[in-house]
Structures are given as C-alpha cells and as structure tokens.
C-alpha cells in the first residue's frame, strides 16, 4: 500500500459471466481528498464502487482501506469501518418519514439506540436543508430533496469515506450547485469524497455577429449541410473523438447533434404533432418516441394544447417553440439554434430565449446559439464568440464580451 493512500485499489477485476466489467483497475486516494471518477454509462464506474463498498465481490485484486485489507469483508463491516455511499436512484423507506429514514442508519452506526439520536438526525437534516420536512413521508419529497435525503442517510453512518454515485444526474444547474455545496462542506469537515459522474456540466455558447458575417454558414458546416473547404470539425463522445467532416446531416443527427434552423422551416400544412414526430429521426428516438413527445409537451405546454392544430396557423413564437421541440424529438446531446429571434416581437424573443436557457439548466443540454441579438444572447450564454467577416474575432466569457470593443462597435454604436 502507498504510504499516503487512505483507499488503495489494486488491480481490481470483475466479471459477469463472459463480460469483463473491470480489468485490473488501480487507484489511490489520500485522506481528505475530493476524487472525481468520470465516464460514460456502462464504463464500469458503479461496478467499481460496488466492489469498494462490498456490494459486489471482486474476481481479482485487493482493496485496502486505512491499513486494513477489506477485499473479502461484507458490506456491513465496511460501513462500520467508515465507508458510506449513495445510490444513483434514491430508495428511501417511502412509508416512513424523512426523520425516521435517518434514525435507522444512525442507530446502526451507534450499534443500538442511544439518547440524542433525534437531535443528531435533525442536525444532519439541517445541513442538507430538509429540517422543515422531517415529519413528512419521504414519498412526498421532490427529486432534488430525494437526493439530499440520500446524502443525509449516508452522512448518518458517520463515514470517513463517502462515495457519491451520480448524485447530480438529471438535476438542473442550480440543483447541482446545491448538491456540490453539501459535498464540499462535508469534505471541509475532513470526510474523503469520491464523486462519480458520467457527464460534465452542460453549457450555452453564443455565436455573435451581424447579418452576413458567417454565423449560419458555420452552423451549416457543423451539421454537414455545407462542406468546409478546409479545417476540422470534431465531436467528443464517450471518450472518442469523431471527425464530422464529410458526414451527411443524417449521420450527424445520429451522433446526437440537432439543428433548429433559421426561419423555423416547419411543414405548415401538417399538425403540431406531425411536425414533432418528423423530428424523431434517430433510431433511438424512434424507440422512445412516446417519452420524447411527452418531454416536448412538458417543456412547451402550449404545444400539447395545440397538438392537432396546423403549424402554419400558429403565432411566430409558438412556431419557434415547435421548431425547438422538433429538434428535441431526436433526443440530442447538443442543440444548435440558428437565429431564434428572427421575425419575433421582443416579448416573444424573451420567452424563446428563456426556454433555451431552461433546456441547459434543467436538462443539461449543451446549446450553441447563433444570434445577432446581443442583449438576449448574453443573458443566457456561459461564453461566446464574435464572428466578423467570416473570422472569429474574439472568444471569451459572457461578462467579458459585454465590455469588448467589438461589441461596443457593432452592437452599442460606441
């Protein structure tokens, strides 16, 4: 064991029949460290954590925690040594209150009932922001509150090492920040943290430029509609770099990139629902067509109420929402939006921009938006590019863009 390793995983292997889930995995984590383990679904993250926590028995290798070999110890003994974990899908005792859900691990950690357990449980609930809901049934909690309860139950075991298994999956940016704040607070108290995630945080990037400077052309090059004469366009997916040059638009859609074109390009004589269904081009999207349709209606409730209405009879703002919904029917990981404000009244522009922001914040969808409306674009973008005469003239964070001389020249008239 390495002298400074608090957790030492040595050449751990795990097989499920003929499938090799882990192959000689080794890692060392120091006491008090925050350690991130990132990988796509199916890469073995949760299998490794199950081996560390004792849920699964390894087929090879050693696991040392502190100075003790725990490779063959059952899960409950590892918990008593100071290893606790959360699960991807919270599974509280739904017939019990939030408080009662904490009393069980507290009494387990203390190996029996002692005075002060209720005070201890309420203190933990206070740390995660659930004290006011202590006496509610856990089934009444929202998704983010379920995740906080899952963390609280792990904290109740008084861990020295806490493993958070995808505690932020499916949460909005604000909710992710809440979970991160709790994990950072625990780490500051000396608890070693392993954070398991399969995604990096999504972002919204704006491509700014006045008409005729090349915004739409660049978007079309990314989508394969226009072939560039030189350069590279690549997509990183599941740890692989994929060259997009020479691929057809339908191939690029299959890779998870969809486009909301300038001018919306709807089929005016088809209904709202028919336009949406045409967006389910990817094979995976066709398999989940009902779920994706429900997602579009949840995101844009106005479309559900008008699902049988002809698209051409809708207002400009509603048509723009339909165009975005059609792109979402392909279940993309990256959404390209070309000039969403064109032809819309200012109040409708604000609503459309707010919806694009919601897609990133709530559903962790990465967005690249080509837009000439500087004020609206910078309200929601994390960073941006300024394109002038077909060249990127500046790239930076949104707050820096507002003060840049190009913005003052082209947008503010200074």
> Do 38 and 168 contact (CB within 8 A), yes or no?
no
The C-alpha atoms of residue 374 and residue 227 are separated, in whole angstroms, by: 28
Among 11, 101, 106, CA closest to 61: 11
Report the chain's mean pLDDT, rounded to a whole number.
87
Query: Is residue 2 included in any domain, yes or no?
Result: no
Query: Is residue 1 included in any domain, yes or no?
Result: no
Q: Strand order of the sheet with strand 257-260?
A: 257-260, 334-338, 366-371, 204-208, 383-388, 391-397
Among 60, 54, 146, 64, CA closest to 98: 146
Using pLDDT thresholds of 50, 70 and 90, give the confidence band for residue 13. Answer: very high
SS3 call for 280:
coil
pLDDT value of residue 113:
59
The residue out of 197, 224, 243 marking a domain boundary is 197
pLDDT value of residue 199:
56
pTM of the predicted structure, to 2 decimals: 0.58
- Which of 22-26, 356-360, 405-409 has the weakest average pLDDT? 405-409
Q: Are residues 154 and 213 in the same domain?
A: no
Domain that holds residue 279: 204-410
The C-alpha atoms of residue 99 and residue 208 are separated, in whole angstroms, by: 51
Q: How open is the CA angle 183-187-190, to the nearest 5 degrees?
A: 150
pLDDT value of residue 198:
61
- Which of 141-155, 198-212, 226-240, 387-401 has the weakest average pLDDT? 198-212
pLDDT value of residue 206:
93
Number of domains within the chain: 2
Q: Are residues 263 and 369 in the same domain?
A: yes
Distances (CA, A) of 157 to 111, 113, 167, 267: 10, 14, 18, 58
Reply yes or no on whether the pLDDT at 203 is more than 90. Answer: no
Q: Are residues 158 and 227 in the same domain?
A: no
The C-alpha atoms of residue 294 and residue 276 are separated, in whole angstroms, by: 11
The C-alpha atoms of residue 170 and residue 89 are separated, in whole angstroms, by: 11
Place of tokens 């005792």: 93
CATH number at residue 20: 3.40.50.300
Reply yes or no on whether the pLDDT at 58 is more than 50. Answer: yes
Place of tokens 């009393």: 103
pLDDT value of residue 54:
93
Query: Is residue 156 included in any domain, yes or no?
Result: yes
pLDDT digits (tens, 9 = 90+) for 112-169: 656 788 999 999 999 999 999 999 999 899 888 999 999 999 999 899 999 998 887 7
Q: Are residues 343 and 286 in the same domain?
A: yes
Q: Are residues 132 and 229 in the same domain?
A: no
Distances (CA, A) of 12 to 30, 98, 146, 294: 18, 37, 32, 42
The residue out of 143, 178, 197 marking a domain boundary is 197
The residue out of 197, 224, 255 marking a domain boundary is 197
> What does the DSSP assignment read for 27-57?
EEE-TT-EEEEE--TTSSHHHHHHHHHTSS-
pLDDT value of residue 114:
66
Place of tokens 């998870």: 256
């Amino acid at each position: 064991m390495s002298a400074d390793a608090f957790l030492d995983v040595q050449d751990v292997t795990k097989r499920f029949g003929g499938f090799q889930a882990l192959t000689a995995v080794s890692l060392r984590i120091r006491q008090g460290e925050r350690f991130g383990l990132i990988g796509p679904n199916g890469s073995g993250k949760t299998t490794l954590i199950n081996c560390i926590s004792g849920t699964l028995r390894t087929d090879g290798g050693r696991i040392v925690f502190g100075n003790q070999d725990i490779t063959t110890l059952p899960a409950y003994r590892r918990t008593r040594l100071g290893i606790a974990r959360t699960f991807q899908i919270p599974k509280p005792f739904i017939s019990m209150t939030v408080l009662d859900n904490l009393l069980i691990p507290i009494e387990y950690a203390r190996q029996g009932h002692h005075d002060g357990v209720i005070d201890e449980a309420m203190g933990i609930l206070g740390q995660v922001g659930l004290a006011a809901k202590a006496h509610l049934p856990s089934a009444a909690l929202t998704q983010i509150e379920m995740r906080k309860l899952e963390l609280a139950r792990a904290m109740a075991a008084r861990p020295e090492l806490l493993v958070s298994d995808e505690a932020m999956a499916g949460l909005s940016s604000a909710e992710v920040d809440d979970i991160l704040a709790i994990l950072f607070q625990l780490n500051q108290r000396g608890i070693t943290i392993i954070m398991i995630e399969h995604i990096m945080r999504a972002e919204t990037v704006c491509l700014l430029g006045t008409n005729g400077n090349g915004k739409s052309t660049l978007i079309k090059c990314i989508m394969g509609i226009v072939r560039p004469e030189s350069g590279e366009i690549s997509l990183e997916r599941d740890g692989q770099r994929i060259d997009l040059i020479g691929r057809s638009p339908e191939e690029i859609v299959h890779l998870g990139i969809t486009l909301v074109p300038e001018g919306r390009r709807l089929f005016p004589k088809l209904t709202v629902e028919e336009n949406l269904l045409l967006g389910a081009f990817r094979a995976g999207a066709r398999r989940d067509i009902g779920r994706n349709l429900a997602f579009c209606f949840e995101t844009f409730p106005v479309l559900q109420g008008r699902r049988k209405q002809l698209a051409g009879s809708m207002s400009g703002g509603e048509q723009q929402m339909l165009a975005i919904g059609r792109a979402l029917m392909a279940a993309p990981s990256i959404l390209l939006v070309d000039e969403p404000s064109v032809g819309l009244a200012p109040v409708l522009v604000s609503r459309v921009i707010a919806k694009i922001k919601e897609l990133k914040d709530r559903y962790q969808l990465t967005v690249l938006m080509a837009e000439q409306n500087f004020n609206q674009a910078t309200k929601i973008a994390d960073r941006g590019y300024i394109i002038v005469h077909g060249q990127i003239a500046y790239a930076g964070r949104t707050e820096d863009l507002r003060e840049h001389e190009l913005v003052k020249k082209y947008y503010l008239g200074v």
